[in-house]
Amino acid sequence: MINVHCICHRLALACADTGDDLLFVKDFETTLLQLWTFFKNSPKRLKIYVKVAMNLGHFDALSKRKKKRLIKSVKRAVRTRWLSLHASVDSLFEEYVGMLHALRSMKDDQAVGGAIAVGLLKKMDSVKFLGVLYMLKYMLPHLSVLSKTFQTGSLNFSRIVPSIEKTKYKIQDLAKKRTHLEQLRLDINGRLAACDISLSEEDEKLIETFGTRYAQAISKNIDERFPKEALDILDAFSVFNACYMIAIIMYIYIYLHIAVIYISITSNRI
């Protein structure tokens, strides 16, 4: 009997390993969890956040229904459910301006946890934090797509290896093109202008390094969690794919049909 571990679990472990390998990712995840806890445990703080965000015009273009959904959208980054990190990053990416101003408004008010707000601000009110946020915003979706591909009920085994290689290539390509840095550079003077955060050349080099290191680490950890011998076994199961079996049967049928014709022609000549 051949045992093959759950491929979804392998992917989750590869992503968790990357967080452990890279301190800046681990710190980001910790801050995200602290931020979720800070607002989850206090309706008063959440109310302050909503009020500040409204005053900033952060929600002006949204419908009432979407506003209610956004109020509850600060999601917990639970590493045993890795995809929740992607959801949390998406939420914070959209709400960063309002969240930052809310924390700034609470930092001197001990009645709403001013000391905790100060601690969160030290982490979040920086271009380094934004760099990690933007990096994950653009790279995590590809890992999420890969995870969902693995979870489909009618998974074609022949798609596993190409899907993994495609995901690694796309993440490495994002790092090479510095997509996260280029977008952050545009947003600093755009939607993030109210945050009053600047981006120096040194900051840009650091953020570029984040992308490169993350792409290298996630590729390495995926390779370690999906060794070639395991992938070869999974790929071998593709012969049981219905489409492949039909193709093989058709190939055999055509081959035999040609063989019969050839034998018939040869016999007539004799």
Q: How confident is the model over 251-270, as pLDDT tens digits?
A: 676 877 787 776 777 766 55
Q: Which helix (H) or strand (E) holds 84?
A: helix 83-106
Which range of residues forms the domain containing residue 30? 7-226
Residue 246 lies in a domain: no
Q: Is residue 256 part of a domain?
A: no
Report the share of the chain in percent with pLDDT over 90.
34
Rg of the chain over all Cα atoms, to the nearest angstrom:
26
The tokens for 42 are 């206090």
Q: Would you state the pLDDT for residue 77?
A: 42
Q: Which of 55-64, 70-79, 113-122 has the lowest mean pLDDT?
A: 70-79
Contacts of 240 (CB under 8 A, 6+ apart): 157
Residue 121 has pLDDT above 90, yes or no: yes
Residue 65 lies in a domain: yes
Burial (CB count <10 Å: 0-12, 13-18, 19+), residue 201: exposed
What do you get for the CA distance between the two ends of the chain, in Å?
53
262 found inside a domain: no
| pLDDT of 224 above 80 | yes
The answer to whether 139 and 222 are in contact (CB under 8 A) is no
Q: What is the pLDDT of residue 159?
A: 75
Task: Give CA torsion, residues 225, 87, 176, 214, to 10 deg.
Answer: -50
In a domain, 248, yes or no: no
119 in a structural domain: yes
Alpha-carbon distances of 76 from 20, 30, 79, 101, 191, rounded to whole Å: 18, 10, 9, 20, 24
Q: Is 53 domain-assigned?
A: yes
Has residue 26 been placed in a domain? yes
Indicate the number of domains in the chain. 1
